[in-house]
């Protein structure tokens, strides 16, 4: 049985590109899923669970990427990761209290 | 005896035994292994990776507690790289398929990634290649079965000597035992310099190669005032420095007794003596030295070395932390003063021919209103129940001040609409650091609650001198009569209108100028935390009348040399115990 595949196009909105903190968060999120996660730029596809690979993509602000996941929880992985891009990798509901 | 001249990066003098860090060759014992030992080699790699991972986790936690999350994040990034599944697979396959030794696999793979990073068109990533070298070093040490130098676990005092300290190594320094730091490379604004200064550890950087001539345990003198390093000093030199150190210590002991005494002249005029800080953890020093508050809280650290703009929450935490720690003493937050010499994250509009006359400071903030508003919202929110004051830097025209206040008002209204609390009476002030602001001060003064005179920029803009330019740096003199007249004009205007004025900038922290400034009518000085005690001692030694006499005399003078010579004599006379040679 072949695993389900899910894809979604995203744009890097962070001014400093997909570097350090955003890359760190992306890889951490990808690591939580059983499915394979690929980050695709043009015709270059890299492992989304590998920080070194994600960094070497050198995706700057405005770069369009495709997220492709293959495996049992592919749909959810793609949905969550695409949301992170849209939120510019800001944490959700971060507490505003001291 | 060997004397080296480097760059003075953090003041103070120290004598101690040399501890050489990270100078060991990263030597790869052999490049290939026999086919039948590859599995053993893979196991060896795994063990080393586990050891390094444990170390990094401990470092991350310890540094986060000691210096805050921003430093802890250095290790979090390393950890993620170390745990990279693809890296692990690549290393294993080099060992299994190509019979590389674990060391050779680690070194060649990480260096290949570092090279890719350096070639990418991003300065940020180019800098991340240091992380990879840091990781390579850690893994090679782990493979050699050697414990890394535990800078955090030193048990006896030492002078740290290194080619270069990585950010992780610098952040781990234990100030209880680290007497001083010397690095062969680096400049006055390097990471090492910033952290050393923040922790008040004497440091000299950029000495050039010399480590090959030093052995661990050699006696080393580090003179952070003059940027000198003396290895294996002769008896005479050692004695001379020991005497300096003894004087420094007894003075420090005496100054420590001043902590709870007010900064008050001999005839009872109270001077507000506050401190300039850059990092939140410096409040400890402010309190220990008995500062009356924070007169200048620079906020650039939030932007420098970060991969993305700080969030409102990060701003808020940084401001709340300092305000809370200062326990009701006033804290003046200066909004972003980036640009020119400091690199920020805000988009650069191409290269500028004259960065100091270009898009910097308040101009940059007004150009990037969205990020400016984030900072202003955070300051407003942090002001609830605290003694916060807000200050705009480098104002040159009334229009700029009004625009900045307009953005502030927008931020207030937004918070009001959202039902978020803030201090509605937070005092708003401006830095006076352009001759234009001085000349128009009678107009400005009606629109602000306080002013702070920034003497560094005021000197540079008045005398048209870039002090970073060696060719003309000698013209940069805060004691130039032109600068002094501008300051005098500010103080008169502010006092007339009853608007509090203070001076921040290196001038106020220099003993010889403190008398002059008080004599001119200033009642508030903001100095580096380390200089608070000696300036306080000076204030307590003199009378207002003495200061006024000095000011009257100085304001008739014609050049900076005359002013400096006169002030030096005056200090020697009034506060002999504070003047060393």
Residues B254-305: tens digit of each pLDDT: 888 889 999 999 999 999 999 999 888 889 889 999 999 999 999 987 876 5
Which DSSP helix (H) or strand (E) runs through B223? Answer: strand B219-223
Contact B574, B546 (CB under 8 A): yes
Closest CA to B499 of B433, B453, B452, B449: B449
Beta-sheet pairing, B13-21 with B219-223: antiparallel
Three-state SS for B455? helix
Q: What are phi and psi of B483, to 5 degrees?
A: -65, -45
Q: Which residue's entry shows tokens 């305000």?
A: B323
Three-state SS for B557? coil
Over B258-300, what HEC string results?
Answer: CCCCCCECCCCCECEEEEEECCHHHHHHHHHCCCCCEEEECCH
- CA distances, B71 to each of B169, B182, B195, B202, B439 (Å): 11, 21, 11, 21, 43
Chain B positions contacting chain A at CB under 8 Å are 76-77, 80-81, 84-87, 113, 116-117, 120-122, 124-125, 128, 307-309, 311, 313, 316, 320, 345, 347, 381, 420
Residue in A20, A52, A95 nearest the CB of B84? A52
Q: Which residues of B touch A52 (CB under 8 A)?
A: 81, 84, 86-87, 113
According to DSSP, residue B332 is labeled: E
Q: Which residues of B touch A24 (CB under 8 A)?
A: 76-77, 80
CB pairs under 8 A between A and B: 72
Residue B164 has pLDDT above 70, yes or no: yes
Q: Which residue has the higher pLDDT, B192 or B1?
A: B1
Extended strands (E) in B285-442: 294-297, 331-334, 388-392, 428-432
Q: Which residues of B touch A61 (CB under 8 A)?
A: none
Q: What is the rounded average pLDDT of the residues B475-502?
A: 96
Residue B315 has pLDDT above 50, yes or no: yes
Q: What's the CA gap between B215 and B19, in Å, rounded? A: 8
Burial letters B350-383, b for 16+ CB under 10 A, else e: eeeeeebebbbbbbbbbebeebbbbbbbbbbbbb
Q: What is the rounded average pLDDT of the residues B405-426?
A: 96
Beta-sheet pairing, B13-21 with B203-205: unpaired
Residue in B85, B117, B420 nearest the CB of A50? B85
Contact B159, B232 (CB under 8 A): no
Q: What's the CA gap between A7 and B8, in Å, rounded? A: 55
Structural tokens at position B574 = 């009034």
pLDDT band at B28 (very low <50, low <70, confident <90, very high): confident
Which of A12, A27, A55, A98 to substitute to test the interface with B, most B CBs within 10 Å? A55
Closest CA to B121 of A60, A42, A14: A60
**Which positions ≥6 away from B480 have C-beta within 8 Å?**
B459, B462, B463, B559, B560, B563
The one catalytic residue among B78, B191, B490, B547: B191
What pLDDT digit, counting tens, does each position of B429-451 carry? Answer: 999 999 999 999 999 999 999 99
Burial of B451 (0-12, 13-18, 19+ CB in 10 A): buried
Q: Which residue has the higher pLDDT, A33 or B349?
A: A33
The pLDDT assigned to A89 comes to 87
> Which bin fits A62, alpha (ψ -120 to 50), beta or left (φ > 0)?
left
The pLDDT assigned to B323 comes to 96
The pLDDT assigned to B274 comes to 97
Burial letters A63-97, b for 16+ CB under 10 A, else e: bebebbbbbebbeebbebbbebbeeebeeeeeeee
Residue B206 has pLDDT above 90, yes or no: no
Beta-sheet pairing, B450-454 with B428-432: parallel
Q: What is the rounded average pLDDT of the residues B341-350?
A: 52
**Which positions ≥6 away from A24 have C-beta within 8 Å?**
A51, B76, B77, B80
Q: Which residue has the higher pLDDT, B123 or B78?
A: B78
Which of B79, B86, B302, B313 to substitute to test the interface with A, most A CBs within 10 Å? B86
Sheet containing strand B178-183, strands side by side:
B2-5, B228-231, B219-223, B13-21, B158-162, B178-183, B203-205, B7-10
Burial of B200 (0-12, 13-18, 19+ CB in 10 A): middle
Around B339, how many Cα atoms within 13 Å sit in the side-chain half-sphere?
23
A72-76, B98-102, B185-189, B454-458 — which is least confidently predicted?
B185-189
Which DSSP helix (H) or strand (E) runs through B128? Answer: helix B123-143
User: pLDDT exceeding 90 applies to what percent of chain B?
Assistant: 54
Over B157-205, what HEC string results?
Answer: CEEEEECCCCHHHHHCCCCCCEEEEEECCCCCCCHHHHHHHHCCCCEEE
Residue A50 has pLDDT above 50, yes or no: yes
Q: Which residues of B touch A32 (CB under 8 A)?
A: none
Q: Which residues of B touch A51 (CB under 8 A)?
A: 80-81, 84
Interchain proximity A19–B311, CB inside 8 Å: no
Interchain proximity A50–B120, CB inside 8 Å: no
The β-bridge partners of B277 are B297
Q: Which residue's entry shows tokens 């006379």?
A: B573
Q: Which residue has the higher pLDDT, B468 or B539?
A: B539
Give, in degrees to the nearest 5, the angle at Cα B201 between B197 and B206.
75
The pLDDT assigned to B581 comes to 36
Three-state SS for B526? strand
Q: Is B547 a catalytic residue?
A: no
Closest Cα of chain A to B249: distance in Å? 40
Which of B82, B91, B307, B347 to substitute to test the interface with A, most A CBs within 10 Å? B307
Structural tokens at position B324 = 């809370």
Q: What are phi and psi of B5, to 5 degrees?
A: -105, 120
pLDDT band at B204 (very low <50, low <70, confident <90, very high): very high
Interchain proximity B311–A94, CB inside 8 Å: yes
What is the value of pTM for the model shown? 0.64
Interchain proximity B121–A58, CB inside 8 Å: yes
Is the ipTM higher than 0.95? The answer is: no
Structural tokens at position B99 = 């019979």
Closest Cα of chain A to B199: distance in Å? 26
Q: Which residues of A touch B381 (CB under 8 A)?
A: 96
Contact B170, B197 (CB under 8 A): no
């Amino acid at each position: 049985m072949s695993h389900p595949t899910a894809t979604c196009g995203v744009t890097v909105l962070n001014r400093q590109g997909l570097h350090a903190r955003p890359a760190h968060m992306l890889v951490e999120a990808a690591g939580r899923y059983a499915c394979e996660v690929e980050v695709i730029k043009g015709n270059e596809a890299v492992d989304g669970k590998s920080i070194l690979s994600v960094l070497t993509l050198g995706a700057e602000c405005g770069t369009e990427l495709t997220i492709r996941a293959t495996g049992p929880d592919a749909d959810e992985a793609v949905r969550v990761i695409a949301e992170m891009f849209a939120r510019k990798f800001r944490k959700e509901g971060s507490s505003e209290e001291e | 005896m060997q004397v080296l001249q480097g760059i003075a990066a953090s003041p103070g003098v120290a004598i101690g035994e040399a501890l050489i860090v990270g100078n060991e060759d990263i030597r790869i014992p052999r490049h290939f292994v026999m086919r039948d030992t590859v599995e053993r080699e893979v196991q060896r790699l795994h063990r080393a990776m586990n050891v390094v991972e444990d170390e990094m986790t401990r470092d991350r936690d310890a540094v986060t507690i000691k210096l805050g999350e921003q430093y802890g994040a250095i290790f979090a990034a390393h950890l993620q790289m170390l745990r990279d599944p693809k890296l692990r697979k690549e290393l294993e396959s080099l060992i299994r398929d190509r019979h590389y030794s674990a060391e050779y696999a680690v070194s060649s793979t990480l260096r290949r990634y570092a090279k890719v990073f350096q070639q990418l068109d991003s300065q940020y990533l180019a800098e991340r290649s240091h992380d990879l070298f840091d990781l390579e070093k850690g893994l090679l040490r782990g493979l050699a079965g050697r414990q890394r130098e535990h800078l955090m676990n030193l048990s006896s005092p030492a002078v740290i000597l290194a080619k270069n300290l990585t950010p992780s190594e610098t952040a781990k320094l234990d100030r209880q035992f680290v007497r001083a730091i010397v690095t062969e490379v680096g400049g006055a604004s390097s990471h090492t310099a910033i952290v050393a200064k923040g922790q008040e550890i004497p440091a000299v950087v950029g000495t050039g190669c010399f480590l090959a001539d030093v052995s661990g345990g050699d006696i080393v003198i580090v003179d952070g005032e003059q940027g000198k390093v003396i290895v294996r000093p002769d008896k005479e030199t050692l004695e001379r420095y020991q005497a300096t150190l003894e004087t420094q210590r007894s003075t420090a002991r005496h100054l420590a007794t001043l902590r709870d005494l007010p900064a008050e002249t001999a005839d009872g005029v109270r001077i507000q003596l506050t401190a300039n800080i850059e990092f939140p953890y410096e409040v400890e020093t402010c309190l220990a030295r008995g500062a009356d508050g924070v007169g200048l809280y620079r906020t650039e650290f939030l932007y420098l070395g970060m991969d993305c703009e700080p969030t409102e929450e990060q701003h808020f935490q940084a401001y709340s932390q300092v305000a809370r720690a200062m326990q009701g003493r006033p804290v003046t937050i200066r909004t972003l003063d980036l640009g020119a010499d400091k690199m920020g994250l805000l988009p650069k509009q191409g290269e500028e021919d004259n960065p100091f006359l270009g898009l910097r400071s308040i101009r940059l903030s007004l150009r990037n209103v969205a990020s400016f508003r984030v900072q202003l919202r955070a300051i407003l929110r942090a002001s609830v129940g605290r003694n916060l004051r807000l200050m705009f830097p480098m104002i040159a025209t009334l229009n700029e001040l009004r625009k900045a206040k307009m953005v502030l008002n927008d931020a207030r209204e937004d918070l009001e609409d959202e039902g978020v609390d803030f201090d509605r009476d937070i005092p708003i002030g401006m830095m006076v650091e352009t001759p234009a602001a001085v000349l128009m001060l009678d107009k400005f003064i009606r629109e602000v609650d306080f002013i702070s005179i920034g003497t560094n920029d005021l000197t540079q803009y008045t005398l048209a001198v870039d002090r970073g330019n060696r060719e003309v740096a000698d013209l940069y003199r805060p004691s130039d009569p032109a600068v002094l007249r501008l300051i005098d004009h500010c103080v008169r205007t502010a006092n007339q209108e009853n608007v509090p004025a203070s001076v921040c900038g290196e001038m106020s922290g220099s003993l010889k100028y403190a008398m002059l400034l008080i004599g001119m009518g200033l009642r508030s000085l903001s100095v580096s935390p380390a200089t608070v005690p000696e300036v306080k001692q000076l204030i307590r030694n003199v009378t207002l009348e003495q200061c006024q006499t000095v000011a009257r005399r100085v304001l008739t003078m014609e050049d900076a040399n005359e002013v400096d010579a006169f002030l030096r004599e005056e200090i020697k006379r009034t506060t002999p115990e504070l003047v060393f040679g």
